[in-house]
Chain A
Amino acid sequence: MIGRKWWVPWLWLSPALLLSGVFLLYPTIDTIRRSFLPRGSDALIGFDLDNYRFIIDNPQPLVADTHSALLNNFMWLTVFTAITVALGLVIAVLAARVRYEAVAKSAIFVPMAISFVAASVIWRFMYEFNPDIGTVNAVLKEVGGAPTRWLQDTGAPQTPFTHAGPDSLPHPLQINNFALVFVGVWMWTGFAMVVLSAGLKGISTEILEAARVDGANEWQIFWRIIIPNLSPTIAVVTTTLVIQALKKFDLVWVMTAGKFKTDVVATLFYKEAFLFNNPEIGAAVAVVLLLWVVPIMVISIRRFQFQEETR
């Protein structure tokens, strides 16, 4: 508007600025501050590293296993993200070749609408130990395997379809962690598929036709044309999934409550901050989570600036 008063924009912005200041910006700074305070201190500012030392030294492995939480989160970050992106891509490419694409995609996409809590109930039921009720163990029994306690088993998978071995391997390679990651994959594949599928539709059919006329087989088309053209979309999907993997809370909390060494950083944070009443340690755990996110924050700001310049 011509001749707008200087304060008018601030009036329009004020509710949003106020809320994000009070609920996001101030608390973030306050949590960083708190993470450097000694336990139970009322001091305004401190430079105490004991809370971070707690995370590194892992003095209470039986109640709050910080090492296991960090390793598990790293497993989520890599395994969950890789499988979900790969599956989403494969399904998007395959579904584009059949006439019932929309129906098939809906079926894969439905779990996105469900809460992690409901999904946890669904999968506790699927993973039930009793092979007369638990679907996964029933299938396993059909093909001659022994039922597995999917959510409790801290052993590592040995051979397919055999009962797990002793608790010998490092924590992230536990059967129960893989079982949890698979539930995450079940929920998020639809997201990866939808975004990648939209990107796929953007690749011009002329390029594909030209490649086929030149005698390229489908395998070559996938690796030489589809993957390079989709790489920006794959990057967007990957960042979103990494953020999801880092903050994974509900799923682990409802399925195992972090028992049997399935804790992730977010559940560790909740236990320390709200159940064990150690807000300073909880704050340090949250800061660790923030540190993992910082690279993604930088990437998304850069990407936004780039979009603005090219607009």
Chain B
Amino acid sequence: MAPPNPSATSEAAVKARPVGVQIGEAVRKFAGRLPLHVSVIGLAALWSIPTIALLVSSFRDPGLVVTSGWWNAVKDPFSFTLDNYETVLDQNGMARSFLNSLLITIPSTLLTILVAAFAAYAFAWMRFPLRNFLFLVMVGLLVVPLQMTLIPVLKLYVSLNDWFGFLGNDVPLLGGRWFGTNSYAGIWVAHTAYGLPFAVYLLRNFFGGLPRDLFESAYLDGASDFKVFRRIVLPLSMPAIAALAIFQFLWVWNDLLVALIFLGDPDRAPMTLTITNLVSSFGTSYQLLTAAAFVSMALPLVVFFALQRYFVQGILAGSVKG
């Protein structure tokens, strides 16, 4: 990871010279690298300012946010408050939406991993007709725009609403329909399906890279496929599964389009949808919008900083998410 040090070879030569020359050399070297430091630090600062502005504003006095710039927060009336958060969580339904985001994201992520891992194991370690063709179809589906699928799937869900109607329209504890539009189960399945091409692609490449000997000796010992899958494949593939989990989690958590189409009911809406509605009804009430946006960002940021390594691995492993 250490940057190459082009001056290493010349160090011995520097030592032989008088101190004055050495200092001059050091100053010149620093001056030469100054533009580099300025641009790297400058870009990093430029990239962070918008997020910092949001964070600072969300804690400022509601009246101040819309009258004075966030950069004034450290001077004149030095006052910070949690009022904005109380307002968005209670009055604007962000507390319920946070729960909805969790209720949508966690099952969708788990389901994607499970279904994709089964398929990836078959693609990687079983022989069957059309194997390569089917996998190429998966690779092709990676880039199909979601928009291609939304009209037929919505029509399908609307007709499923009727079929599942006899079960009633209020699932105990969760609320919403059992399946179809405005149902949690419906959006779990939709997100799982949309995440599958990437998930299968990522896991199959990882599973396929595991050493063949392991499988052969296990099969010779009479281990079943399921046993090999559970005892060998899953434990050895934890890095890939972790990367996939983070990816899918963030993708579903941050999704707006799928929720917009399949979950119209404000009581089921995830945070992205609620914030979008807040923007269209309170476009310039930045005290509310910044707090709401930060509530939605908090969990992804924690995940990101805690598991950055896996996140980067996931990005490197499959750079063509559809």
Please determine whether A304 and B283 come into contact, CB atoms closer than 8 angstroms: no
**Which single member of B152, B224, B255 contacts A27 (CB below 8 Å)?**
B152
> B295's closest neighbor in chain A, by CB?
A118
Give the residues in chain A near B3, CB-CB below 8 Å. Answer: 96-99, 101
**Which single member of B45, B68, B200, B228 contacts A16 (CB below 8 Å)?**
B200
In angstroms, Cα B220 to Cα A223, docked, is 54
Interface of B: prevailing SS: helix
Give the residues in chain B near A111, CB-CB below 8 Å. Answer: 47, 51
A-B contact pairs, 7 of them (CB 8 A): A24-B196, A30-B152, A97-B36, A115-B253, A243-B322, A286-B150, A301-B136
Known interface pairs A273-B150, A301-B139; A115-B300 also in contact (CB < 8 Å): yes
Please determine whether A34 and B51 come into contact, CB atoms closer than 8 angstroms: no
Please determine whether A16 and B196 come into contact, CB atoms closer than 8 angstroms: yes
> A87's closest neighbor in chain B, by CB?
B43
Answer yes or no: B91 CB below 8 A from chain A CBs: no
Please determine whether B68 and A132 come into contact, CB atoms closer than 8 angstroms: yes
Give the residues in chain A near B145, CB-CB below 8 Å. Answer: 246-247, 266, 286, 289-290, 293
Known interface pairs A253-B256, A286-B145; A98-B36 also in contact (CB < 8 Å): yes
Answer yes or no: A143 CB below 8 A from chain B CBs: no
Known interface pairs A16-B118, A122-B54; A114-B297 also in contact (CB < 8 Å): yes
B89: shortest Cβ distance to chain A, in Å? 16
In angstroms, Cα B311 to Cα A209, docked, is 32
Answer yes or no: A17 CB below 8 A from chain B CBs: yes
In angstroms, Cα B316 to Cα A266, docked, is 27
Answer yes or no: A63 CB below 8 A from chain B CBs: no
Q: Which 3 A-B pairs have the closest CB atoms?
A: A115-B254, A23-B193, A16-B119
Please determine whether A113 and B151 come into contact, CB atoms closer than 8 angstroms: no
Answer yes or no: B148 CB below 8 A from chain A CBs: yes
Answer yes or no: A47 CB below 8 A from chain B CBs: no
Answer yes or no: A297 CB below 8 A from chain B CBs: yes
CB 8 Å contact bits of B287-318 with A (1 = contact, 0 = none):
00110111011001101110010011001100
> A265's closest neighbor in chain B, by CB?
B147
Please determine whether A286 and B148 come into contact, CB atoms closer than 8 angstroms: yes
**Which single member of A2, A12, A20, A135 contacts B122 (CB below 8 Å)?**
A12
A271: shortest Cβ distance to chain B, in Å? 12
B183: shortest Cβ distance to chain A, in Å? 15
> A129's closest neighbor in chain B, by CB?
B284
B73: shortest Cβ distance to chain A, in Å? 12
Q: Which of B136-180 contact A (CB under 8 A)?
A: 136-154, 156
Answer yes or no: B241 CB below 8 A from chain A CBs: no
A283: shortest Cβ distance to chain B, in Å? 6
Please determine whether A27 and B118 come into contact, CB atoms closer than 8 angstroms: no
In angstroms, Cα B317 to Cα A194, docked, is 12
**Which single member of A8, A28, A123, A287 contacts B50 (CB below 8 Å)?**
A123
Please determine whether A209 and B4 come into contact, CB atoms closer than 8 angstroms: yes
Give the interface segment out of B19-27, B74-82, B272-280.
B272-280
B42: shortest Cβ distance to chain A, in Å? 10
> B189's closest neighbor in chain A, by CB?
A19
Please determine whether A108 and B119 come into contact, CB atoms closer than 8 angstroms: no
Give the residues in chain A near B148, CB-CB below 8 Å. Answer: 27-28, 31, 286-287, 289-290
In angstroms, Cα B257 to Cα A266, docked, is 10
In angstroms, Cα B320 to Cα A5, docked, is 35
A212: shortest Cβ distance to chain B, in Å? 5
**Which single member of A31, A100, A113, A304 contacts B304 (CB below 8 Å)?**
A113
> A22's closest neighbor in chain B, by CB?
B193
